[in-house]
A and B are shown apart, each in its own frame.
Chain A
Amino acid sequence: NAGVTQTPKFQVLKTGQSMTLQCAQDMNHNSMYWYRQDPGMGLRLIYYSASEGTTDKGEVPNGYNVSRLNKREFSLRLESAAPSQTSVYFCASIEDRSYNSPLHFGNGTRLTVT
């Protein structure tokens, strides 16, 4: 049981390049989330998927797209990377049958855009 797995762990992009951050969970959770964390700041929600086949915008969705490929996988795509997207990206999932369920986080993807 690996929990939430994110790939890659590190990535460096040039401005304008594209890439997809991958996230997979093996806990059979319905809901999945993408957060970003900038230095010295808390986490901000980018997008989330309440269930397979649905996605919704969070607090800071501009510049990103997401795909809920199946129940296990939720990917985040940067179509044209910008230096402002330099950040640490965390994927999380939750068993939302219970309102009390905590979020389970991956260990992040550290992205630098030059």
Chain B
Amino acid sequence: EVQLVESGGGLVQPGGSLRLSCAASGFTFGSYWMSWVRQAPGKGLEWVANIKQDGSEKYYVDSVKGRFTISRDNAKNSLYLQMNSLRAEDTAVYYCAGGTTTLGYWGQGTLVTVSS
């Protein structure tokens, strides 16, 4: 059974940092592009970033470029999102998802709240 389990969310002040993790199991993690998707409270889905199988290519939505960094550790079957200079508008549930042209696997999400 495919499982993606996010962790690391919480309450952080504006300007602060947070690192999200996603533990994968049940599929060959190292063979898949992986993505982060977020959903602000009561709003729609927004693609945030993705990363190639070997980590050599990374892409971001304009609103997080220079602030967020996606990474992965294939030996640990894990995906990460380092979030710096957080803003109120970054408040959302963050999902990790498997794929890039199709997001076939999804985690249950972790809530990030940016507030003073």
Tell me, yes or no, whether A binds B: no
Q: Which residues in A have some Cβ–Cβ distance to B below 8 Å? A: none
